[in-house]
Amino acid sequence: MAKKISKTEVIVTGFGGQGIVLAGKILGMAAALGDHRESTLVQSYGPESRGGACCAQVIIAEKTIQYPYVKMADVLVCMSQSAYEKYKIQIKPEGYLITDRDLVNPDNQREVFDIPATRMAEELGRTMMANIIMIGFVTAVTSLISEKAAREAIMSSVPKGTEEMNLKAFTRGFEYGRSKLKGREKKAAGQTGAIA
Amino acid sequence: MEEYKIILFLCNWGPHTAYQQLQDDGYQIPSEVKMIRIPCTGRISKALLFKAFEMGADGVAIVGCNSGACRYGSGTLKAENNTEDTRNIIDLLGIGRERMRLATFLPDESEALKKFLTGFCEDLKQLGKSPVQPAGLQPVEASGESAQQVIARYDVYSCQDCGKCTASCPLALSGKAYSPRNIVSDIIRGNDTAEKVYADVHACLTCGICHERCPSDVNFPEFIRDMRCLLNQTRVSGERIQPHGGFFQSLMRTMTSKDIRPNRWKWLPKDIQVDPDSKILFFGGCAPYFDAFFKKHQQVNTVDILADALRLLNFFDVRPRLLEMERCCGHDLLWSGDRTNFMRLAKLNVEMIQDLGIETVITACPECYHTIGLEYEKNGISPGFTVTHLYAFLENAIHKGAVTFKPIPHRITYQDSCRMNRREEIIDLPRKLIQRLAVEQFQEMKDSGRSSLCCGNCAWTGCDAYSKALQVKRIRQAHETGSDLLVTSCPKCQIHLRCAMEDPFQETELKMEMIDLTSLIARTICWE
């Protein structure tokens, strides 16, 4: 997808404190530093980033970006119900809607790629890492950034000493995304279970 | 030209008269035919029929009375069943089903008998010599080891006589006068050649609970295994303690012949995809033989486990290679005390797998996993590939996510496999997988996990009234959980528990549905 469309607009949104802004920052950094493309980030500040519906707007493009705000997103990542309600209209018809399965109850109007990111993070030992799992999932599902670039960006963005855990979280989300895609492919081919 | 050998089992009653008539008429019985006069064809078990092939027969004919003319009533019917099963088995083994024939003659049908004998001889010459090299006739290579050395290897001297082994031994708990501790002290005292010790050494289930409980960490199962190897060096196969007439040991010894070309995968369902260039090999195990042997008796269907394992690999986009000429892994030979032939099988398997350039071997059988993954190396054959249990592969693949399970309207309980229970790296896997399933209820039996009860037999040795009592006890435990489906992870647990359920004195009280965990997963797994 990223290769064909010259400009991809992303909205990452959720509660303040979930690491929404950091997730946006990592996406942008990976695209710019790892994949050598252009990227911008507009992050919410003020009351939202301290608990409300927090939001990070990222644009990734091949050419210089003139305007950094996102009106209609190609990829909308929602990590809370209130954020979903607020931003669900700002997604293009062909865009990807990506949610945390346990935190967002979508209204079935369009196809959803969901992942139990927060639950997985709990399993891994730190709820905080849900955002990194989400980045892994987004990377696998949308191919917005390359896997290598994402890993490098995570390494340089997360606090010292937690790199390994965060990479593990990324892998968890990435693999989930890959098997999700595979599952869709199989289902589309009419193969749902192991026994025909 | 080498001489052909045809074993003719000839019933004493009808056909023997015809046979004598032929001789009286001056007919020269073909020199290939070695006649054995028997009281009734129904008494010639599958083990005896097969034994002839193991010992180098090119053909076996079993000749009896016509159906209805059997002096004992059901002899002919039994012979028909045994012949059918044996033919299926030698076909799987690649010896060729045509080498085994059943015919019936009335006393006055000497001409027909003559035609049969000459016809069979001619057909066999067309087929050529049997590919079996009789391994059973070769002397067992003596290891030169003494009982003292085996005792020293497992530091059996450190036994503190505490009796925890006896207190935990499933056989002792079923009422058998049986004590690992006493066996040990008998052997240490030098009584290892006594008949009682021989019998006791062979009654052990090698399930390993005693080792689990032993405060001195004496590895009793492996000690028993090595004692079996030692004690059997001086015995010919007929003197050994082997249920089913020693059929399975016989079968596995036959597989040591290099020239046989088994076709054990010919039953493979069409929907399964395999790839002859894959670096991953699926090692099936002996399930097809078990099914052929037990078909009439209990409708065992353990090949389903292999098919479902392959389907699960396919589900996760793994198309493995299959080894057409796969032999038994050798587990049962090793654990019934025949290290020589175990080594032959091990070398053959490893050579064949290495020649294919295989990197990973996946198996769904706990015994194959244990043997190929651990025993080969211990016995000085380094495999050069990694061995993975299917459960480890599944857990890894399912953990990645996006996979779910259809609900199953059953309350389940789980029968542990002894071999799997003693391996740290896989001991938790079956339960992890069960926890993922959408069952109505999962309830452990009274004895579960590390203190789980054995299904009552190991390596086709030591089946007696006490092991039967143990099986009955185990099935009762399963019923007490309130479950209606018993999940197993080893094909042999299925066979042995199913046998116990047929106990005529218990009528239908013990009946319970059984399924292997692999099949249960395969039937319910689906993409989200």
User: What is the mean pLDDT of the segment spanning B292-317?
Assistant: 88
B354 lies in the same domain as B440? no
Last residue of a domain, one of B367, B392, B417: B392
pLDDT score for A1: 46
- Edge-first strand order for the sheet with B280-283 is B321-322, B280-283, B360-363, B386-389
User: What is the mean pLDDT of the segment spanning B452-459?
Assistant: 90
Distance between CA B381 and CA B523 in Å, rounded?
Answer: 37
Chain A residues whose beta carbon lies within 8 Å of the beta carbon of residue B318: none
Which H/E stretch holds residue B388? strand B386-389
Contact at 8 Å (CB) between B420 and B427? yes
Looking from the CA of B189 toward its CB, the CA atoms found within 13 Å total 9
Indicate if the pLDDT at residue B156 is higher than 60: yes
Q: Select the residue of B402, B523, B525 nearest A180 (Cβ to Cβ).
A: B402
Q: Which percentage of chain B shows pLDDT scores above 90?
A: 73
B74 lies in the same domain as B188? no
Indicate if the pLDDT at residue B1 is higher than 50: no
Instruction: Please indicate if any CB of chain B lies within 8 Å of the CB of A123.
Output: no
pLDDT score for A119: 92
A195–B523: do the CB atoms touch at under 8 Å? yes
Instruction: Please indicate if any CB of chain B lies within 8 Å of the CB of A50.
Output: no
Indicate if the pLDDT at residue B501 is higher than 80: yes
Q: List, for residues B352-376, the tens digit of each pLDDT value.
A: 999 999 999 999 999 999 999 999 9
Q: Which percentage of chain A shows pLDDT scores above 90?
A: 53
Average pLDDT value for chain B: 91
Domain contains B268: yes
Residue B141: which pLDDT band, with cuts at 50, 70 and 90? low
User: What is the mean pLDDT of the segment spanning A37-51?
Assistant: 80
Contact at 8 Å (CB) between A51 and A84? no
Last residue of a domain, one of B205, B237, B269: B237
Q: DSSP letter for B362, please.
A: E
Distance from CA of B369 to the nearest CA of A (A): 23
B205 lies in the same domain as B265? no
Domain parsing of chain A, residue ranges: 7-188
Residue B138: which pLDDT band, with cuts at 50, 70 and 90? low
Contact at 8 Å (CB) between B361 and B372? yes
Q: Which percentage of chain B shows pLDDT scores above 70?
A: 97
A179–B526: do the CB atoms touch at under 8 Å? no
Distance from CA of A114 to the nearest CA of B (A): 9
Distance between CA B429 and CA B314 in Å, rounded?
Answer: 20
pLDDT score for B140: 61
The count of CB pairs under 8 A between chains A and B is 50
Instruction: Please indicate if any CB of chain A lies within 8 Å of the CB of B400.
Output: yes
Chain B residues whose beta carbon lies within 8 Å of the beta carbon of residue A120: 401
Instruction: Please indicate if any CB of chain A lies within 8 Å of the CB of B435.
Output: no
B102 lies in the same domain as B13? yes
**Domain of residue B72, CATH code:** 3.40.50
B471 lies in the same domain as B521? yes
Domain contains B138: no
User: What is the mean pLDDT of the segment spanning B273-293?
Assistant: 93
B273 lies in the same domain as B203? no
B10 lies in the same domain as B88? yes
User: What is the mean pLDDT of the segment spanning A88-114?
Assistant: 89
Q: List, for residues B53-99, the tens digit of each pLDDT value.
A: 999 999 999 999 998 889 998 999 999 999 999 999 999 999 999 99
Residue B147: which pLDDT band, with cuts at 50, 70 and 90? confident
Domain contains B249: no
Instruction: Please indicate if any CB of chain A lies within 8 Å of the CB of B515.
Output: no
Q: Select the residue of B311, B401, B528 nearest A195 (Cβ to Cβ).
A: B311
pLDDT score for B116: 95
User: What is the mean pLDDT of the segment spanning B20-31?
Assistant: 92
Distance between CA B521 and CA B525 in Å, rounded?
Answer: 6
Q: List, for residues B177-228, the tens digit of each pLDDT value.
A: 999 999 999 999 988 788 888 899 999 999 999 999 999 999 999 999 999 9
B273 lies in the same domain as B221? no
Distance between CA B421 and CA B430 in Å, rounded?
Answer: 10
Tokens of B463: 């089946």
User: What is the mean pLDDT of the segment spanning A127-144?
Assistant: 92
Number of compact structural domains in chain B: 4
Domain contains B173: yes
B440 lies in the same domain as B481? yes
B324 lies in the same domain as B376? yes
Looking from the CA of B419 toward its CB, the CA atoms found within 13 Å total 25
Domain contains B187: yes
Contact at 8 Å (CB) between B482 and B443? yes
Residue B136: which pLDDT band, with cuts at 50, 70 and 90? low
Domain contains B244: no
B271–A196: do the CB atoms touch at under 8 Å? yes
First vs last Cα of chain A: how many Å apart? 32
User: What is the mean pLDDT of the segment spanning B423-430?
Assistant: 86
pLDDT score for A196: 66
> Going along A49-182, which residue ranges are E strands?
53-61, 73-78, 91-100, 112-115
Q: Select the residue of A176, A193, A196 nearest B402 (Cβ to Cβ).
A: A176
Q: Classify domain A7-188 at the CATH class level.
A: alpha beta
The residue of chain B nearest to residue A115, with distances taken between CA atoms, is: B402
Residue A2: which pLDDT band, with cuts at 50, 70 and 90? very low
Indicate if the pLDDT at residue A3 is higher than 60: no
Instruction: Please indicate if any CB of chain A lies within 8 Å of the CB of B406.
Output: yes
Distance from CA of B480 to the nearest CA of A (A): 32
B400–A179: do the CB atoms touch at under 8 Å? yes
A183–B317: do the CB atoms touch at under 8 Å? no
Q: Select the residue of B271, B521, B527 nearest A186 (Cβ to Cβ).
A: B527
Domain contains B283: yes
Q: List, for residues B96-127, the tens digit of each pLDDT value.
A: 999 999 999 999 999 999 999 999 999 999 99
B482 lies in the same domain as B409? yes
B526–A193: do the CB atoms touch at under 8 Å? yes
Residue B233: which pLDDT band, with cuts at 50, 70 and 90? confident
Name which of A175, A179, A182 to mutate to probe chain B: the one with the most chain B Cβ atoms within 10 A of its Cβ: A179
* Bridge partner list, B408: B439
pLDDT score for B177: 92
B388 lies in the same domain as B489? no
Which residues form the domain of B286? 261-392
Q: List, for residues B390-419, the tens digit of each pLDDT value.
A: 999 999 999 988 899 999 999 999 999 999
User: What is the mean pLDDT of the segment spanning A92-101?
Assistant: 90
